A and B are shown apart, each in its own frame.
Chain A
């Protein structure tokens, strides 16, 4: 009887391990891809490639800047 339960435990643990390793971890792969692409294309680390800046840059006045003063 106990032998059977022992076998069951072994089977469940093995099944769990096999399940983990067979399937492709799509979400993890996306995360890894994003990280690598950000590095290769230098999209983050404050080194953004200034290609599409000209369309953003010519905003006349920094109107919103003074609003950020912390209320004490």
Chain B
């Protein structure tokens, strides 16, 4: 009888382990996340030349910032600022949605940090990113 109970303990441990594996994926296919992704994807076509010219760059906290407004004609600067703030609003929403969508609002900061590193890693060469407060060309 004791043996039986012991094997039950092991079985439940194995089961718990497989739950851990099942929980190892983050859910990122909620309607809210898909909507943010679509909005960001659309905006990226407009942002792309600004990344390439160095007008904007990736920050260390997973957002973007205007790096060199003089790389943009004066008449377009207002539009550029609008694009940057819209992008940052979407990114902040994205990090929040991933955390809350997985039942852990407190993960938002960790999600943001993870994205910060991945955006920079996947950035094209020639783009700028922030490192310890300084702009670096990739």
Secondary structure at the A interface, as helix, strand, loop or mixed, is helix
**Count, chain A residues at interface, CB 8 A:** 34
Q: Point out the residues of chain B lying under 8 angstroms from A17, CB to CB.
A: 16, 19
Secondary structure at the B interface, as helix, strand, loop or mixed, is helix
Please tell me if the beta carbons of A39 and B41 are within 8 angstroms of each other in the complex.
yes
Smallest distance from the beta carbon of B37 to chain A beta carbons, Å?
Answer: 6
Which B21-57 residues have C-beta < 8 A from chain A? 23-26, 28, 33, 37, 40-41, 44, 48, 52
Which B78-119 residues have C-beta < 8 A from chain A? 94, 98, 103-104, 107, 110-111, 114-115, 118-119
**Chain A CB within 8 A of B132 CB:** no
**Partner-A contacts on B (CB < 8 A):** 1-2, 5, 8-9, 12-13, 16-17, 19-20, 23-26, 28, 33, 37, 40-41, 44, 48, 52, 94, 98, 103-104, 107, 110-111, 114-115, 118-119, 122, 124-126
